Structure 1
Amino acid sequence: MTVAPAPSAATQSLASLAKADGVRFLLATFTTLTGKPCAKLVPVEAADALEGDGVGFAGYAAGAMGQLPRDPDVVAVPDLRSYTPLTFLRPGLGLVHCDPYVEGRPYAYGPRVILRTLAERAAAEGTALVSGAELEYFLLRKDGATGELVTADRLDDAAQPCYDARGLTRMYEHLTAVSDAMVELGWGPYASDHEDGNGQFEQNFHHADVLTTADRVVTLRYIVQVLAEQRGMTATFMPKPFTDRTGNGLHLHLSLWDGERALFPRELIEDPYGMGLSPTAYAFTAGLLAHAPAMHALIAPTVNSYKRSGATTTASGATWAPREATWGGNDRTHLIRVPDAHRVELRGGDGSASSYLASAAALGAGLDGVRRNLDPGAPGATSGPALPRTLLDAVHALEEDAVMRGVLDAVDQEAGVSAYYARLKREEFYSWHNTVTSWEVDRYLTAV
């Protein structure tokens, strides 16, 4: 396993890069703390100004950015390494990921800024996190008669549709268009498959440094959704859109490197758990386990997330979502799976997670384990901390975990990002709790 190189630092201007690809307009993009992608469409004629000064946004209007209407602009400053031509979606379209700044300083509430800050600190210690991401999503349509969302492929109704060759073939045009896009972008896609739920798919691409992968997750979600819309479908990454189907995960494959040297494989030393891992890898795993409850506020950040992780059954017979903070070998029931000696897979994240915050949480938790030389305990043991059963439980765990609070407060300890995020998610839970659902009407309408 070799590290996929990060995009080389641009030696050309943003304008010259865009013009060389026939790009006429650039989506200058950043995300909010809830993962919402925000952008302005900038003509290539203004690319020099975008590169030099950034482009301004009213942060409060964008969403969860820690601002009030009176606050100064959030200025999106492009990172040229993330420049991505999207001419296969629209002729002349490109995208560049941006770091939010406020009054000339990196903004503490910017998820990309948080991840970049943590990655730079790790690099200063001689460590780099390499990650790969698995994105699961459903392809749906609205039923013309009822208006309900239904599986886009009406023939996709098998009891166990996972890996079904016919279901893949019926969605050939969409899946190959997404794969072709990743080939064109140089991401190294290597598989598309039908997942466990009817209408559910997953498409994979090669690993890279953690910031590059997080950028690509944002970009790929956008590509998948636009291509689906062009075919009259809705692509959703919602964790659990159907009660009786498997939910959408965002699994992260993680490994630490020191330059070109992989730090996870065992090197001629005793292996206490027989996984082929180094002490560093075991300690990293232990950090993920120790902080798993609080980490869920970032990797499973919605009310709906806990319908996925708390599911007891699905039509296919398995949920594929971990319910306990356990680890083990090539076993997909664990929170931390060890497919081989080169990586560990964090399986608790879901499709609603910000790729930046989920990656930052994994980096912060894992490195805490390394710094404290934690022991994960025996594989398969259930003595670890219990995972949250609701978003409110996850928020409580976050508030009690100094390391995870420190992840959110990485850019500026005084900015109050962790407190703001906890309050935001607590109010999300209460908003849902205050809504009367059909389940309650069915259960209580004539109960007494």
Structure 2
Amino acid sequence: MSEVSSIWVCPPHNALQAAREFLAANGVNYLLAQFVDLHGGIKSKSVPVECLQDLTTDGAGFAGGAILGFDMSPQDPEYMLVADLQTLTLLPWLPGYASVRGVGTVSGEAYEMDPRNVLAAQTERLAKRGWRLMTGLEPEFYLLRRDEDGSIKPFDSTDDMRQPTYDYRGITRNTAFLEGMHKSLKAVGLEVYQIDHEDANGQFEMNFKYDEAMQSADNITFFKMAAREIANNVGAIASFLPKLNANTTGNGMHVHCSLVDEQGTNLFNDDSDGNGMGLSKLAYHFIAGVMQHAHGLCALLCPSVNSYKRLMIGTAERPSWAPVFIAYGDNNRSAMVRIPYGRLEVRIGDSAMNPYLATAAIIAAGLDGIDRELQAPEPHSLNFYDMTLAQITEMGVERLPETLKDALDALASDQVLKDALGERLIGSFIKLKRDEWHEYHRTVSEWETERYLTFY
């Protein structure tokens, strides 16, 4: 008797029947039909497995007016999630369940406000040129617990070193969660190649193999769902909050990028690069586009009020590891774009970002650089943390927006990103985030009370 595989490979023909057999062999009774809202929050309906065919034709219906940022009203037609069987994935931590994603439609047409559709449109722009964007997303997250008094602390109570980076105890004392994550990701075909304790107490990074842009975005969404549920199963909280407190490093979500052709050749690689970074002219144009649109990109890659507490200037002794300056350089982690030879790593994003919108925006910015043949400035392979702000400004290097409001203002004036991702979607995103900004400013913090209670 052959062993049942937990990894789904969608065949080019008879996919529906093959899916039924795969689901039956793995004891699946329910499918979670999933999509994300503008925040990147995962939304689902549970669909009995016997309704699989309907899910691939009519889809699962949702009241669009209840979905954040989808710009729909109670009287509008339903938002329908039509399943794409290529995305079928078991949920190893939840026996009897699988997830599926697809195309969000309204009145039979792909809906312009669906973030996955937005990324699909940008990858199609690449496909017309015979290109694909390969991305590797590196998720950082906190593993926490809530004490009886309501305070938030690292899940491992002994994780209290001032500099816990790479400490072996971070791995050995959290094996129930980390091994659960690894086994679940491996079971569905995600190749985890390293797990480490990061710079903050309770902070981890788990890296898995790169893939095509859409698949990577699907994978990171699956990863976040898995992390939350497996953490919950061991009594912990997996948090993708960008910045937990002022004294710790934040949760970044770095995006490694390379354009490849139909044969899989890396179009960003050129060993004759005079700068010694292995980059082609195409790569330099792409970098120039990303830098040109850095301010607007920041709103989509760093989408919360809290994000900008991560984008702070560090010091050489205690760097923030979050880039603040619009620059690039050879293996330079203090710049917005790091070059690990022959590809680029966009380092500004954090773990709160919607991976579909963020990746779509990076493609749009990069293509603008390519189409207009924008010239990247000279690379800076130096440590910006060693320099004063005045010195950096003298070099002509700008800094990223300091607040969500500044980033939103930049996005609102970036016509290239608005045209690429859609005026309506960007308008809804900006409204959603400006509401968040205003709500934040109406909140009186503990810091304000302590500072001003008897100050005046």
Q: Residue 426 of structure 2: which of 415, 418, 436 is its match?
A: 418
Q: Does 1:265 align with 2:278?
A: no
Question: Structure 1 stretch 238-247 or stretch 190-199: which is displaced more?
Answer: 238-247
Deviations 1:91-141 (A, max 9, x none): 111001122111111011000000001101110112210001100000011
Cα offset, 1:172, TM superposition = 1.3
SS at match of 2:326: coil
Cα offset, 1:434, TM superposition = 1.1
Paired residue for 2:211?
Answer: 208
Cα offset, 1:418, TM superposition = 1.6
Assess if the C-alpha contact under 8 Å between 1:10 and 1:80 holds in 2: no
Assess if the C-alpha contact under 8 Å between 2:253 and 2:349 holds in 1: yes
Assess if the C-alpha contact under 8 Å between 1:292 and 1:385 holds in 2: no
Question: Structure 1 stretch 9-18 or stretch 224-233: which is displaced more?
Answer: 9-18
Query: What is the distance in 2 between the residues matched to 1:110 and 1:201?
Result: 30
Q: Does 1:55 align with 2:60?
A: yes
Cα offset, 1:9, TM superposition = 5.5
Q: Measured at CA, do residues 327 and 437 of structure 1 come closer, stay the same or move farther in structure 2, by a change above 3 Å?
A: same
Q: Does 1:396 align with 2:406?
A: no
Paired residue for 2:283?
Answer: 281
1:263 aligned partner, one-letter code? L
Assess if the C-alpha contact under 8 Å between 1:290 and 1:384 holds in 2: no
Equivalent residues in 2 for 1:59-98 (5 A)? Answer: 59-86=64-91, 88-98=92-102
Q: What TM-score do you get using the length of structure 1 for normalisation?
A: 0.93
Query: What is the distance in 2 between the residues matched to 1:395 and 1:137?
Result: 25
Query: What is the distance in 1 between the residues matched to 2:420 and 2:440?
Result: 27
Query: What is the distance in 2 between the residues matched to 1:10 and 1:44?
Result: 21
Paired residue for 2:363?
Answer: 363
Deviations 1:407-440 (A, max 9, x none): 321xxx6xx2222211221121111111111111
Cα offset, 1:52, TM superposition = 1.4
2:292 aligned partner, one-letter code? A
Deviations 1:363-406 (A, max 9, x none): 11111111111121111185344311000000110011111112
Assess if the C-alpha contact under 8 Å between 2:176 and 2:234 holds in 1: no
Deviations 1:258-281 (A, max 9, x none): 11221011165xx34221110011
SS at match of 1:310: coil
Assess if the C-alpha contact under 8 Å between 2:165 and 2:199 holds in 1: yes
Paired residue for 2:340?
Answer: 339
Question: Structure 1 stretch 15-24 or stretch 132-141: which is displaced more?
Answer: 15-24
Query: What is the distance in 1 between the residues matched to 2:81 and 2:214?
Result: 17
Equivalent residues in 2 for 1:107-122 (5 A)? Answer: 107-122=111-126
Query: What is the distance in 2 between the residues matched to 1:17 and 1:107?
Result: 30
Q: Does 1:297 align with 2:267?
A: no
Gapped runs of 5+ residues in structure 2?
A: 1-7, 381-391
Deviations 1:283-302 (A, max 9, x none): 11111111110001100001
Deviations 1:157-203 (A, max 9, x none): 01111111111110112111111122111121101110110000010
Paired residue for 1:405?
Answer: 418
Query: What is the distance in 2 between the residues matched to 1:360 and 1:127?
Result: 14
Q: Does 1:172 align with 2:185?
A: no
1:375 aligned partner, one-letter code? Q
Query: What is the distance in 1 between the residues matched to 2:12 and 2:86?
Result: 6
Paired residue for 1:323?
Answer: 324
Query: What is the distance in 2 between the residues matched to 1:441 and 1:27?
Result: 45
2:96 aligned partner, one-letter code? G
Q: Measured at CA, do residues 36 and 164 of structure 1 come closer, stay the same or move farther in structure 2, by a change above 3 Å?
A: same
Q: What TM-score do you get using the length of structure 2 for normalisation?
A: 0.91
Query: What is the distance in 1 between the residues matched to 2:74 and 2:306?
Result: 29
Assess if the C-alpha contact under 8 Å between 1:10 and 1:81 holds in 2: no
Q: Measured at CA, do residues 434 and 95 of structure 1 come closer, stay the same or move farther in structure 2, by a change above 3 Å?
A: same
Q: Measured at CA, do residues 7 and 66 of structure 1 come closer, stay the same or move farther in structure 2, by a change above 3 Å?
A: farther
Over the residues paired in the alignment, what is the CA RMSD in angstroms?
1.7
Paired residue for 1:159?
Answer: 162
Q: Does 1:218 align with 2:221?
A: yes
1:265 aligned partner, one-letter code? N
SS at match of 2:101: strand
Q: Does 1:246 align with 2:221?
A: no
Query: What is the distance in 2 between the residues matched to 1:211 and 1:122?
Result: 12
Equivalent residues in 2 for 1:117-156 (5 A)? Answer: 117-144=121-148, 146-156=149-159
Paired residue for 1:442?
Answer: 450
SS at match of 1:373: coil
Assess if the C-alpha contact under 8 Å between 1:78 and 1:99 holds in 2: yes
Query: What is the distance in 2 between the residues matched to 1:57 and 1:9?
Result: 29
Deviations 1:292-332 (A, max 9, x none): 10001100001010011126479x82211011111001121
SS at match of 2:351: coil
Q: Residue 181 of structure 1: which of 162, 184, 190 is its match?
A: 184
Question: Structure 1 stretch 366-375 or stretch 382-391: which is displaced more?
Answer: 382-391
Q: Measured at CA, do residues 9 and 365 of structure 1 come closer, stay the same or move farther in structure 2, by a change above 3 Å?
A: farther
1:222 aligned partner, one-letter code? M
Query: What is the distance in 2 between the residues matched to 1:329 and 1:368?
Result: 23
- The size of the alignment, in residue pairs, is 432
Q: Measured at CA, do residues 127 and 396 of structure 1 come closer, stay the same or move farther in structure 2, by a change above 3 Å?
A: same
Paired residue for 2:378?
Answer: 378
1:277 aligned partner, one-letter code? L
Q: Measured at CA, do residues 189 and 330 of structure 1 come closer, stay the same or move farther in structure 2, by a change above 3 Å?
A: same
Paired residue for 2:233?
Answer: 230
Task: Provide the identity percentage.
Answer: 39
Q: Residue 437 of structure 2: which of 411, 420, 429 is its match?
A: 429
Cα offset, 1:337, TM superposition = 0.3
Assess if the C-alpha contact under 8 Å between 1:85 and 1:94 holds in 2: yes
